[in-house]
Amino acid sequence: MFQFFSYYSFLIPFSFLCLCRPSFPARIFPESSSTVITVDTHNTTTTTWHGFTRFLDAGKGSQVSGMSELKEYFNRFGYLPIPDENNFTDIFDKQFESAVIAYQTNLGLPVTGKLDSDTISMMVSPRCGVSDTKTHGTTFQATKHFSYFYGKPRWGRQAPVILTYAFSQNNMIDYISLKDIKTVFKRAFSRWAQVIPVSFMEIEDYPSADIRIGFYYRDHGDGQPFDGVLGVLAHAFSPENGRFHLDASETWALDFETVKSRVAVDLESVATHEIGHILGLAHSSVKEAVMYPSLSPRSKKVDLKIDDVNGVQALYGSNPNFTFSSLLASENSFNKGSGLRNTRSSSKWNISFVVGVLLLFLCTR
């Protein structure tokens, strides 16, 4: 009878601890001997570039069937010129190694010159369609983080600068109301207007608007066709072109609580990013910046970071009402909030542990 009671006196608190399901803050563990690609397996049948995972660990001198498609990706985003013979090969040659190194450097990845897990994970991620470096006659002037289109084009208007925008009547999506779409874009435009002396005004006359917004499928006549779900999400052109195109194939979302699709893309995040291009910013190598080229599904990135602000203010100057202290305060508030959540999770675990030990002590007396 005593053995039976002792057994259950251990089992009760042990079960209690197991049922508590404590939450721990995220941690980075040292690399192990195995390589893990951080790709969302739920999206593997729909991501445009998921097939690139078969090139994992390929390096200079290797030859893998289909690598020519990978080289086309690097060409599309400005890292690899079209060869003289107009056909890419499946050989990982010295020129491709240089392209991989440039890609890794430009996007703030570990520079290995190989298609390691970090590089492959970035390549299969949905992203903006604007290229990162020189391609098809377009060049960029890069700084340490943010970058510009060649020549640092900007909207040359007399102060006060007011840019108009309009939505295409024929190229919209029907599962989000036009009112809600307009609200999202108004917020996105206002974020940039808060840091530079430029304001944005919606008008109804689409052809005459400075910025023309629409949703399009596949080849839509601008030489940069979309490619389906979770490939290129959108693209916009440098000043003073004003074209702003989003891929109509995506599952656009305003609220992930109501849209449960695993491939849902936050409309406001993409809108905020593409407005940066409209103003003259190219891509940033700072992963936290709005102007970083990739955005994972079901993620949100709408708040301008210091890198975004520095870049756009170098083009237009600062909004007289803007202060960097307010931006830093916002970032610190977010960081403190994250830390508080982690502290609360740890506290819950500590309380559960103490209760379990107390039960064990009482049951064995």
Regarding beta strands 251-253 and 264-266, do their DSSP bridges make them parallel or antiparallel, or are they unpaired?
A: parallel
DSSP state, residue 261: -
Return d(Cα 275, Cα 317) in angstroms, integer. 17
Nearest to 249 by CA among 282, 220, 209, 216: 216
Catalytic residue status for 268: no
Residue 240 annotated as lining a ligand binding site: no
Enumerate residues 6+ apart whose C-beta is below 8 A from 142. 106, 133, 148, 282
| Residue 96: C-alpha distances to residues 52, 101, 124, 129, 187 (Å) | 15, 9, 18, 21, 41
DSSP 138: B
Instruction: Tell me whether residue 283 is annotated as binding.
Output: yes
Residue 50 marked ligand-binding: no
Cβ atoms of residues 276 and 310 within 8 Å: no
Tell me whether residue 136 is annotated as binding. Answer: no
245 is in an annotated binding site: yes
Is 210 among the annotated ligand-binding positions?
yes
Binding residue per annotation — 219?
no
Q: Are 157 and 312 within 8 A, CB to CB?
A: no
Residue 266 is labelled as binding a ligand = no
Give the tokens for residue 339: 């830390």
247 is an annotated ligand-binding site residue: yes
Per DSSP, what are the bridge partners of residue 149? Answer: 140
Q: Is 214 annotated as a binding residue?
A: no
Residue 235 annotated as part of some ligand binding site: yes
The answer to whether 291 is a known ligand-binding residue is yes
339 is in an annotated binding site: no
Q: Which residue(s) pair with 211 in the sheet?
A: 165
Among the listed residues 204, 268, 274, 288, the single catalytic one is 274
273 assigned ligand-binding residue? yes
CA 274 to chain centroid: 12
Instruction: Report the alpha-carbon distance of residue 83 to residue 95 in Å, rounded.
Output: 10
Residues marked as catalytic: 274
Binding site for Zn(2+): residue ranges? 128, 220, 222, 235, 245, 273, 277, 283, 291
Binding site: residue ranges? 128, 210, 220, 222, 227-228, 235, 245, 247, 250, 273, 277, 283, 291
Binding site for Ca(2+): residue ranges? 210, 227-228, 247, 250
